[in-house]
Amino acid sequence: MVQHSRPSPQSSGPAAGVSGIRSGQGNGSKAAALTPPSKSRGLLPHPPRGRRSYAAIDLGTNNCRLLIAKPSSDGFIVVDAFSRIVRLGEGLAASGRISDAAIDRAIAALAVCADKLRRRHVTLARSVATEACRRADNGAEFIQRVYRETGIALDVISAQEEARLAVLGCHALLEPGDGPALIFDIGGGSTELVLVDSNCSGAPHIVDWVSAPWGVVSLTESEPFDHADRADRLAAYGRMRARVTEAFAPLARRLPSPQPDIRLLGTSGTVTTLASLHLDLPRYDRQAIDGLIVPSTSMRAISERLSSMPLAERQTLPCIGTERADLVVAGCAILESILDIWPAQRLGVADRGIREGILRGLMDRDGARM
């Protein structure tokens, strides 16, 4: 039997009308508090904490991801993982609803996750859903159907909780230094930017943050263009850049003046894909990518090249393929806009984020970290 961590009142339930920008500074504002969810209910008495398996499911606008782990002396050991592109937010911007086809894809992926939870004897799990379920008119119906058909209780988290979990999951990969740091997560339906102060023990202190309603799916659908027409491709890319720049403007105005030692860390399929192209990998290799530091000039050059490339040519590139080829351009537009407002010389790349943040939170709250 899997004990599901229950959502807190602040983060549960699909929120209506989240098409605007969500942000908050770290000076005592409600948004910046990024309060973790309340403690879960009592756990099963067996097995002992050090041997329990914990699970995190992140159902995003584009991907469904699962991570199952056991605690260890330096964090946790992954015992199983799963990832599938489900495009839950496909068509959402136009209809306001999650489509039947997207629901079927997501439930099929979550059924695989549920089977893994049972087979791995997971004791405590937390499953979260993000922007697509926050925005969809039928988000609550979808959550109920998921529970009926798979037994997975999805917690529709707020943008601020999404930002907190991403930081908790990847901050260990920040380059050492005294300068301010920006951590970002480019999702399918939204992008979170988080300014942190890492000059403290444990997780960095969140100083400021913003969540923009542009991810690789939502931005791609906002700017349709003729893939065969180079001029049209470049014009659409420019419009994407403009949309994202406008969305980031509230945070950009509050950011400290550029300093020579600013640091930047990204967690998303966009940055891991572009980092793979930077290394010219024949296939994706997490060990080579997670924790990699890439010159920002290289990431810009790759972004510019992909934005001008025909779809068929992008599909032939290793680590992109047919599933990501139409979405990667929007990711490049978001990344370049981030580099515009935070011109760090290097970009840290993290193949970790929300799921790892969930696991660390579950283990800490359960007293399972060894």
pLDDT per residue as tens digits for the range 354-369: 999 999 999 988 887 5
Q: Is residue 27 part of a domain?
A: no
Q: Is residue 345 part of a domain?
A: yes
Q: Is residue 154 part of a domain?
A: yes
Cis check: omega of the bond before 47, within 30 degrees of 0? yes
Q: Is residue 30 part of a domain?
A: no
Co-location of 7 and 117 in the same domain = yes
Co-location of 311 and 233 in the same domain = yes
What is the domain-level CATH number for residue 77? 3.30.420.40
Residue range of the domain that includes 13: 3-20+36-160+354-366
Helix (H, G, I), strand (E, B) or coil at 192: strand
Q: Is residue 26 part of a domain?
A: no
Please state, for a pLDDT cut of 90, what percent of the chain lies above it.
75
pLDDT at 34: 37
Co-location of 120 and 214 in the same domain = no
Co-location of 125 and 216 in the same domain = no
Q: Is residue 60 part of a domain?
A: yes
Co-location of 335 and 199 in the same domain = yes
Counted domains in the chain: 2
Co-location of 188 and 294 in the same domain = yes
Co-location of 305 and 257 in the same domain = yes
- What is the pLDDT confidence band of residue 75, given thresholds at 50, 70 and 90? confident
How far, in Å, are 161, 304, 341 from residue 336 at the CA level? 25, 9, 9
pLDDT at 51: 76
pLDDT at 19: 30
CB 133 within 8 A of CB 59: yes
Co-location of 250 and 320 in the same domain = yes
pLDDT at 227: 79
CB 15 within 8 A of CB 45: no
- What single-letter amino acid sits at 218? S
Provide, for the chain, the percentages of residues in helix, strand and coil under a 3-state DSSP scheme, each rounded to the nearest 5.
Answer: 45, 20, 35
Q: Is residue 287 part of a domain?
A: yes
Co-location of 69 and 212 in the same domain = no
Q: How far apart are CA 186 and CA 209, in angstroms?
A: 14
Co-location of 140 and 229 in the same domain = no
Co-location of 307 and 341 in the same domain = yes
How much is the pTM? 0.86
Co-location of 212 and 155 in the same domain = no
Q: Which helix (H) or strand (E) holds 122?
A: strand 122-129
Dihedral of the alpha carbons of 354, 356, 360, 361, in degrees to the nearest 10? 20
| pLDDT value at 13 more than 50 | no
Q: Is residue 29 part of a domain?
A: no
- What is the pLDDT confidence band of residue 26, given thresholds at 50, 70 and 90? very low
| pLDDT value at 320 more than 70 | yes
What is the domain-level CATH number for residue 216? 3.30.420.150
| pLDDT value at 39 more than 80 | no
More confident residue, 34 or 48: 48
